[in-house]
Amino acid sequence: MSTPGTAHATTATGAAAVPFASPAAASGAPFVEEPVAYDAVLLASFGGPEGQDDVIPFLRNVTRGRGIPDERLEEVAHHYRHFGGVSPINEHNRQLKTALEAEIARRGLGLAVYWGNRNWEPYLADAVRAAHARGHTTLLGLATSAYSSYSSDRQYREDFARALLDTGLDGQVSIDKVRLFFDHPGFVAPFVEGVRDAVAGLLADGVAPAAVRVLFSTHSIPVDDANRSGPRDVEWPHGGAYVAQHRAVAEHVMGEVAREVPGAAAIAWELVFQSRSGPPSQPWLEPDVNDVVEGLPARGVEAVVIVPLGFVSDHMEVLWDLDTEAMQTAARVGVRAVRTPTPGIHPAFVAGLVDLIEERLDGIPADERPHVTPLGPWHDVARPGCCENARAGFKPAAAGVVP
Which pLDDT does position 5 carry in this prediction?
36
Task: Dump pLDDT digits (tens) for 131-146.
Answer: 999 999 999 999 999 9
Q: Identify whether 287 is preceded by a cis peptide bond (ω within 30 of 0).
A: yes
Task: Dump pLDDT digits (tens) for 362-398.
Answer: 999 999 999 999 999 999 999 999 999 988 899 999 9
Chain centroid to CA 274: 14
Task: Dump pLDDT digits (tens) for 167-188.
Answer: 999 999 999 999 999 999 999 9
Can you tell me the mean pLDDT for 36-64?
95
Domains of the chain, start order: 4-181+346-368 (3.40.50.1400), 185-339 (3.40.50.1400)
Tell me: pLDDT of 400 over 90.
Answer: yes
Tell me: pLDDT of 260 over 60.
Answer: yes
- Binned at pLDDT 50, 70 and 90, residue 240 comes out as very high
Task: Dump pLDDT digits (tens) for 277-325.
Answer: 878 899 999 999 999 999 999 999 999 999 999 999 999 999 999 999 9
Minimum mean pLDDT range among 4-13, 14-23, 73-82, 187-196: 4-13
Which pLDDT does position 394 carry in this prediction?
94
Which pLDDT does position 12 carry in this prediction?
39
Long-range contacts formed by 129-134: CB under 8 A, 24+ apart = 129/167, 129/169, 131/40, 131/42, 131/173, 132/167, 132/169, 132/172, 132/173
User: pTM for the complete prediction?
Assistant: 0.94
Contact 403, 388 (CB under 8 A): yes
Task: Dump pLDDT digits (tens) for 195-205.
Answer: 999 999 999 99
Report the percentage of the chain scoring pLDDT > 70: 96
Mean pLDDT, rounded, of the chain: 94
Task: Dump pLDDT digits (tens) for 149-162.
Answer: 999 999 999 999 99
